[in-house]
Each structure stands twice: as C-alpha cells, then as structure tokens.
Amino acid sequence: MPPATTRSTQTKAETRLSRPVQIAEAIKDWVVDQGLQAGDRLPGEADLIERFGMSKGTIREAMRILEAQGLIKTRTGPGGGSFVHEVSRQRAKALLGNFFYFKNLTVGDIYQLRLALEPELSASLAGKLGEDILQELEANIAVYSESAKTLEEEREQHVASLRFHAILAEQSDNPLLSFVIDFMVNLLTDLTVYRRLYSPPNAVLWQEGRDHQQRLVSALRTGNADEARAIMTDHMKTAWTLMHRQEVEMLKRFISE
C-alpha cells in the first residue's frame, strides 16, 4: 500500500527528503484531513505501518520527528499512546528562533518588517481595547517613566519597552499577525540583550519611545485609527534610526576590543 498523501504530485524538494521525514509530513496531512484536534489519540503503530505502507523503523522515526517538533505527545502506561499535541506559542517562537540563530540578523532586518506590520496592528485596535488592557499598557510605560540611572536599569527598560508591543500583539484577532509581531519583539529583545544594544545609554531613544507609546495609548483609547497608525509609523522609524546607531556603536566597540 503506497504512502498516503494529500498531494497529487511531489516537488523535487519533497523527493529529496528522507523517508521518515516524508512520512512525518504525510501523518501531519492525514491528521489535518481527519480533523483531529489536540488531545485526540493517533492510531497505533501497527495501524500506521499498514496505513502508510512503511516499515516499523520508518514509522517510529517519523513519530520521533513529530514528537521533537512538539506536534505529538507520547504517554506510557494504561491509557497511553500517541496523541495530537498543540505546540505552545513559546515553543513555536523558540523553534523558529533557532532557525534564525545563525542568520546574523540586523536591527534593520527586524524593523523593516515591524514598520510594515505594527502601524496596521495599531490602527486595527483603535477603539477596540478594553480599559483593562489600556491600563496594562500604561502600567508598562510607567516602568520606564524616568530615564535609567544605571546600565542595568537601561537594559531592563529596553526589555520593558518592547514588552509594550508584545501586549499589543496579543490583542489582535489575527493569530498570524499576533504571532509574527510577538516573535519579532522576542527576536529584538534577545538581540538587544546579547549584543548589548542598550549600551551606551541613549536618553533620546528612551524619551522618544516613551512619548510615542503614551500618545499611542491615547489614540487607541479615543478610537482614532489614522492617528494610531501615524504614531506607530513614526515610532518605528525613529526607533529604527536610533537602534541602528546603537548597533553601529556596538560594532565599533567590538572592533576596538
């Protein structure tokens, strides 16, 4: 019995995949076709061998691949077996982050995408956020209401100011937009910390960022979508310029050392 697939043809890229990887993909397709949800039990090993026409070793390796990806979870003992597992947001960000680990991303790479997406996110949320969320955003801004006095405070304020954008991303009705923006915030946070882009302290970056965010909350509260979009656009452009300068300073320090 040939391996099950939802595609009528295979691309050249697919034919180069190892057999266990191909079967792992076929199992994922089958799960979607069957409408299985997180927590649903997968067929046993013997059933999978018959269904996909592969050896025990290939099926086991395919299942190990899916488990490593976080897409299935195996339990032993009474009532055990393999079950469909929903990948958590944190795990998905970690796995995707691993892909970009050796890509040598720059501030510009991240801000190019942020500039395209975050103004539209802000416009879409204008007038739609509850007072509890607006107050959460204001409380986040309060963490960096005054300029940092130490380098450690500077680092903490950078991280907190990026958290503001993660809070906004969580409010989107579009799960893809929400995830992408949250992931970019996570990337930029990591890049800021391990490249020490918070050093030397930049009072202009702090003040401009805080002021933009305060004005944005006001526009979100009054429901002015055009103003929210314009404020976030200016926020992203300003931050991009200032963070690029921080990146240049970091490279100068690296070369001198």
Locate tokens 């304020």: which residue?
157
**Are 239 and 209 a contacting pair, CB within 8 Å?**
yes
* C-alpha–C-alpha distance, residues 100 and 116, integer Å: 20
Burial class (CB in 10 A: 0-12, 13-18, 19+), 138: middle
% residues pLDDT > 90 (the chain): 70
How high is the pLDDT of residue 8? 45
Q: At 254, is the pLDDT very low, low, confident or very high (cuts 50, 70, 90)?
A: low
- The CATH number covering residue 16 comes to 1.10.10.10
- Please say if the pLDDT value at position 203 is more than 50: yes
Does 237 reside within a domain? yes
Averaged confidence pLDDT in the chain: 90
Does 3 reside within a domain? no
Q: At 88, is the pLDDT very low, low, confident or very high (cuts 50, 70, 90)?
A: confident
Same domain, 18 and 97: no
Q: At 178, is the pLDDT very low, low, confident or very high (cuts 50, 70, 90)?
A: very high
Which structure tokens are listed for 197? 């882009």
* C-alpha–C-alpha distance, residues 146 and 144, integer Å: 5
Query: What total number of domains does the chain contain?
Result: 2
For residue 211, which of 235, 227, 192 has the smallest C-alpha distance? 235
Domain extent at residue 195 = 90-256
Stated pTM of the model: 0.75
What distances in angstroms separate CA 192 from CA 6, 90, 175, 189, one per listed residue?
Answer: 43, 19, 25, 5
Higher pLDDT, 196 or 237: 237
How high is the pLDDT of residue 214? 98
- Please say if the pLDDT value at position 11 is more than 60: no
Cβ within 8 Å of residue 59, ≥6 positions away: 23, 45, 48, 49, 52
Same domain, 251 and 165: yes
Same domain, 68 and 138: no
How many CA atoms lie within 13 Å of 2's alpha carbon, on the beta-carbon side? 3
* C-alpha–C-alpha distance, residues 64 and 23, integer Å: 11
Which structure tokens are listed for 43? 């067929």
How high is the pLDDT of residue 7? 47
Across the range 4-9, mean pLDDT stands at 47
* C-alpha–C-alpha distance, residues 182 and 176, integer Å: 10
- The CATH number covering residue 107 comes to 1.20.120.530
Locate tokens 């947001």: which residue?
89
- Please say if the pLDDT value at position 51 is more than 90: yes
Locate tokens 């800021």: which residue?
192
pLDDT digits (tens, 9 = 90+) for 127-152: 999 999 999 999 999 999 999 999 99
Same domain, 79 and 158: no
